[in-house]
Structures are given as C-alpha cells and as structure tokens.
Amino acid sequence: TQRARAGTETSLHIPYGGGEGEKLDIYLPRDTSGTFPLLVYIHGGYWQCLSKEESGFAAPPLVSQGVMVAAVGYDTAPKGHMDIMVLQVRRSLAFLVEHYSVYLCGHSAGAQLAAMVLSTDWTEYGVAPDIKGAVLVSGVYDLEPILHTYVNDALKMSREVAQRNSPMLCVTPPAPMAAACEVLVAVAQHDSPEFRRQSQEYGQALRTAGWSVSLMDLAGVDHFDIIEKLSEESYVLTQV
C-alpha cells in the first residue's frame, strides 16, 4: 500500500459518516477530466484485523487503466460488532454512489460485507445506487458455522446476529437499478472445503433469485494469494 500511495494520486481519510472509523482512501487515475469507473474495495481479516491502510495493494494496475479505487475503512472487532460493520459498509456505498457508478470488490470477511450491500433496502439511505458489478472473493456467506470457533471470540455474535448478517439468508431479487449488475463469485482452488461450498451455494442462491452471476474457480491459489495477486496486472482477476 505504501508503494501504491507513493506512485498514485491519493485522497486519504475521507469521512463517509460521523464515526471515527468511518473513513475511506481514494486512489485516483492521472486523467480525472472524463468519467471513470470506481472500484470499492472492502478488506477481509475475519472482521478483526487489517484496515483500509493495507488495502491499496490492488490500486496501481487498476489506476493505470483509468479505474479509481476506494478502500473502505470500518470498525473491526472488538470495537465494532457485525451489525455496525454491515451498516458502515452500506453507509460508505450510500456516500459514494451519490457521485459515481461503482463496482464492488470484497475478500473473505469483506466479501460477506460486500454481499450484504447487495441485499440492502436503499430506501432507508435515500439513494438508488448504480452498482454495476460485484466481485466477491473467497467469501463467507453463512456466518452460523463460525459461531463456535475462535473467530467469534472477538465478534461475540449471537445466533440472531449471525443469521441476519448472513448473505445466504438475505438474498433478495435485484432491485430495478441492479438488474444489470453482474456478480462474480470467485473461489480459490486451495480454499477450504467450507469456503468452496459456501461460494457455490451463495452463487446459486443469487442466480435463482434473478441475479446475473458467474462463478470462477481459480487454479493454483489459496485463500490469501487469490486477492494479493491483484497487485499484478497480468493476473486473471485483475484483468476481469
């Protein structure tokens, strides 16, 4: 990210809400005269580590192709709990879509948050977002299996909280504005069987509900380098 910030025009710590953690970083293409797509990146880290500061690694190859990248910050656990994180990410999109057409990208926990954005009732936010596409990478779409794991030590989710924040249980047909939104559900060959199963089932649930979905199974990568390789221009996911 430091390299990305050094070599790219940036606008850092832009507040999208009133909370201390509700800020985002923007990486800008050199030519800002025309219109350009905006990719909104939501980091992973099991909802308790990483930050927007570590989310700029994917920016250079995209920015060089005229894509603006926004890295979203949110309150990770134990400060933030699941309901708050989902609300914050939705709030960041409500802020950004007032100005741009956006593409969403999230990895792992960030893919769960991005998927929750797709099921948002936007009337509560007073916007009708133009989300052109979503790239969900090695995501968690059903939170119940993690209730009894160490991951929940910091999150302290109850079953109710896990259920209402599980994208798998919140799939709705696309709103008219989202009818053209293309969703790519990507999973790594060396992801665990549970990640692979959830990606398959969530992609299928979206398709059944009427979303335009494609599933991508990436050979030769694991849960981490599937997203880290976005720093490489030639990488298949960067190209997509």
Query: How confident is the prediction along the chain (240 residues), in pLDDT tens digits per residue?
Result: 666 666 688 999 999 999 999 999 999 998 766 778 999 999 999 999 999 999 999 999 999 999 999 999 999 999 999 999 999 999 999 999 988 889 999 999 999 999 999 999 999 999 988 899 999 999 999 999 999 999 999 999 999 999 999 999 999 999 887 888 999 999 999 999 999 999 999 999 999 999 999 999 999 999 999 999 999 999 999 999
Query: Of 101, 212, 223, 225, which one is the catalytic site residue?
Result: 223
Query: Of 108, 166, 199, 231, which one is the catalytic site residue?
Result: 108
The DSSP secondary-structure symbol of 75 reads -
Is 101 a member of any domain? yes
Residue-range definition of the domain harbouring residue 202: 1-231
Measured in whole angstroms, the distance separating CA 131 from the mean position of its chain's CA atoms is 12
Query: Of 81, 107, 191, 231, which one is the catalytic site residue?
Result: 191
Question: Can you give the length of the chain in residues?
Answer: 240
Is 240 a member of any domain? no
Is 179 a member of any domain? yes
The DSSP secondary-structure symbol of 147 reads T
Is 167 a member of any domain? yes
pLDDT of residue 175: 86
Active site residue 92: no
Residue 119 and residue 131 in contact, taking contact as beta carbons nearer than 8 Å = no
Is 217 a member of any domain? yes
Active site residue 223: yes
Sign of torsion, CA 63 228 109 190? positive
CATH of the domain at 213: 3.40.50.1820
> For the chain, what is the domain count?
1
Residue 144 and residue 116 in contact, taking contact as beta carbons nearer than 8 Å = no
Nearest in space to 128 (alpha carbons), one of 103, 99, 94, 102: 94
Active site residue 108: yes
Is 237 a member of any domain? no
Is 236 a member of any domain? no
Is 239 a member of any domain? no
